[in-house]
Amino acid sequence: MSRVLIIESSARQQDSVSRQLTRDFIQQWQAAHPADAITVRDLAVNPVPHLDANLLGGWMKPEEQRSAAELEALARSNELTDEVLAADVLVLAAPMYNFTIPSTLKAWLDHVLRAGITFKYTPTGPQGLLTGKRAIVLTARGGIHAGATSDHQEPYLRQVMAFIGIHDVDFIHAEGLNMSGEFHEKGLNQAKAKLAAVA
Distance, CA of 66 to CA of 148 (rounded, Å): 45
Count, residues in the chain: 199
- CA–chain centroid gap for 138, Å, is 9
- Tell me the H-state helices in the chain: 17-32, 53-60, 68-86, 103-112, 154-163, 181-198
* pLDDT at 71 exceeding the cut of 80: yes
The predicted-structure confidence for 90-143, as pLDDT tens digits, reads as follows 999 999 999 999 999 999 999 999 999 999 999 999 999 999 999 999 999 888
CB-CB neighbours of 49 under 10 Å:
13
Eight-state DSSP code of residue 109: H
What is the CATH class of 3-198?
alpha beta
Q: What is the pLDDT of residue 86?
A: 98
Taking the C-alpha atoms of residue 65 and residue 134, their distance in angstroms, rounded to an integer, is: 37
Q: Is the pTM of this model over 0.85?
A: yes
Q: Average pLDDT in the 166-170 region? A: 98
What's the rounded Cα separation, in Å, for the pair 110 and 63? 21
Q: What percent of the chain has pLDDT over 70?
A: 99
Q: Given a cut of 90, is residue 170 above it in pLDDT? A: yes
Give the pLDDT of residue 32: 95
Please say whether the dihedral angle defined by the alpha carbons of residues 35, 41, 174 and 20, taken in this order, is positive or negative.
positive
Q: What is the pLDDT of residues 23-60, one digit of tens each?
A: 999 999 999 999 999 999 999 999 999 999 999 999 99
Is the pLDDT at 184 greater than 80? The verdict is: no
What Rg value do the Cα atoms of the chain yield, rounded? 18
Res 182 pLDDT > 80: no
Which stretch of 9-13, 111-115, 134-138, 147-151 has the lowest confidence by average pLDDT?
147-151
* Mean pLDDT over each residue of the chain, to the nearest integer: 94
Domain ranges for the chain, please list them.
Answer: 3-198
Tell me the CA end-to-end span of the chain in Å, nearest whole number: 14
